[in-house]
Amino acid sequence: MHDEEFGHIHLVPSTRARRCVFRVADDGLLQVSVPPGATEADVRRALEQLRPRLRPFIKRVAVRRSAGSELVRQALAERGIADEMEALRQRLNPQLIRPDISPDQLRHLLLMAVLRQRAHRTFPSRLAELARQHGFSYRSLRINQSRTRWGSCSASGSINLSLWLALLPPHLQDYTMLHELCHTRHMDHSPQFWALLDSVCGGQNEALRREQAQWVLSAL
């Protein structure tokens, strides 16, 4: 569905929804959980009622995405990622590139390839080193391409890290890994968890947490 002010709106049918439920996704787009039997006219009526309340949320997401995009541009240049992407592009056989792929799509694929290489080259050894330094143990490490979270830890001690983490400065990569390692002892975000994380971060948890928050995965 398209709206003149908010642009594309993603409608998600939901058997559990009793009314139209709006949320602003990380990419800045509106998503609507639509209950059974609801029509587009019903969604538009609900949208008009909520428009004044939705407007500031969408603006805040846009500001965060803009800041996140600038951080990404800086990272590509400062950390040599842009150079690796160009080197990879030059090695590609032009005949193997789909003719319908756009320059932006090709750039995205190159970026993911470089980040995946960096992640698999550095994450396993760094996570193991941090675990040894601070007395943690974990079951396994899996590298995924999640754009909703930097990392996660299961109840069994299996840690997942997003390959997009390779864009962050090394000290924020370490902070994320330590965050997940602390979850091997505290599976929640209780005061005990934050106290443990602060202790292994040298008392810098709040500062590192604020710095990490400047990076918006949806802007990557």
Q: Which domains does the chain have, with CATH numbers?
A: 2-63 (no CATH), 83-219 (3.30.2010.10)
pLDDT exceeds cutoff 50 at 80: yes
pLDDT exceeds cutoff 70 at 114: yes
Phi/psi for 124 (5° steps) reads -60, -45
Single pTM value for the model: 0.68
**Token pair for residue 182?**
């602390």
Q: What pLDDT was estimated at residue 40? A: 92
Q: What pLDDT was estimated at residue 28? A: 62
pLDDT in tens, 3-31: 888 888 889 999 988 999 998 765 567 88
CA distances from 194 to 15, 187, 220 (A): 38, 11, 27
Q: Which residue has the higher pLDDT, 66 or 179?
A: 179
pLDDT in tens, 130-148: 999 999 999 999 999 987 7
